[in-house]
Amino acid sequence: MAVVAGRVGALGALGLLAAVAGAGGAAGTVAGGAAGTVAAPRASPAGFVAVAEVDASIGQEMRYATPHNFTGAVVDGYDEPVCLLARPAAEALRRAQREVLRRGYSLLVYDCYRPQRAVDRFVRWAGDGADQRTKAEFYPGVAKDRLVPEGYIAEKSGHSRGSTVDVTLAELGRGPLDMGTPFDFFDPLAHTDSPRVTGTARGHRDLLRRVLGRQGFVNLPQEWWHFTYAPEAFPDASFDFPVSVASVHR
């Protein structure tokens, strides 16, 4: 389990009003209506933090900063393999981590804040029918040209608002628990309540959902790993600053 410590020393607490003000200020992001106008700044708005600075014990295996993801390459916008979130979501994740540590487990995050440019890259990848390198691992039962129509790949993502995290459970010293499918497995088997997932894997999915749910995270039923903290700090925004520690250290 790869744990990214990041820089030591958590950022000072920021209120929601300061966070909202920062969204339209020096950071260069624009929070509009439901569509959310996207700019391309180098820094986040006030209110984002590196999760390692909130709780360094949370495991990080940031897949899109590596070639081990469904595109087969490092994804646009992932300058560093770090988890960034709006502070309220990061603090809720820390509370959940305290509970799972008492059980001998740890949270392991695969993705957190995601720039809009990365979302755009996913859509372009889905439209490239000639590239089937990762089919066996990530979408063996779905034709690639069906990934967008069937909702596995979307043109907008809640990850770009900063309160959504892709996460699993890992046993301390042993690695990720069996969840019935890998992360980013495009198949109905990955639906959280898939009746085909039973036994130990079902228990692990239920435990993850209960622990995160107690801290305000809501699961996306189509993906057992996908959780959004509510209320979101930036519910109407789409951000495009790069994933790096420097982005939250202004």
* Contact predicate 59/1, CB 8 Å: yes
User: Which backbone phi and psi does 176 adopt, to 5 degrees?
Assistant: -60, 145
Model pLDDT, residue 40: 60
User: What digits encode the pLDDT tens for the residues 181-240?
Assistant: 999 999 999 999 999 999 999 999 999 999 999 999 999 999 999 999 999 999 999 999
d(CA 195, CA 227): 20
Beta carbons of 70 and 186 less than 8 angstroms apart: yes
Q: Find out whether 166 and 225 touch, Cβ atoms under 8 Å.
A: yes
Using an 8 Å Cβ cutoff, are 136 and 68 in contact?
no
pLDDT band at 152 (very low <50, low <70, confident <90, very high): very high
137 within 8 A of 182, measured Cβ to Cβ: yes
Residue for token pair 């057992």: 224
223 carries an active-site annotation: yes
Residue 7 pLDDT > 90:
no
Which one from 53, 61, 91, 223 is the annotated catalytic residue? Answer: 223
CA distance 72 to 21: 38
Quote the tokens at residue 218.
Answer: 């809501």
C-alpha to C-alpha distance for 52 and 38, rounded to whole angstroms: 26
Hunting for tokens 């894997």 — which residue is that? 201
Q: pLDDT tens-digit profile of 159-196?
A: 999 999 999 999 998 999 999 999 999 999 999 999 99
Give the confidence band of 133 by pLDDT, cuts at 50, 70, 90: very high
pLDDT of residue 43: 86
Question: Side chain identity at 87, as an amino acid letter?
Answer: R
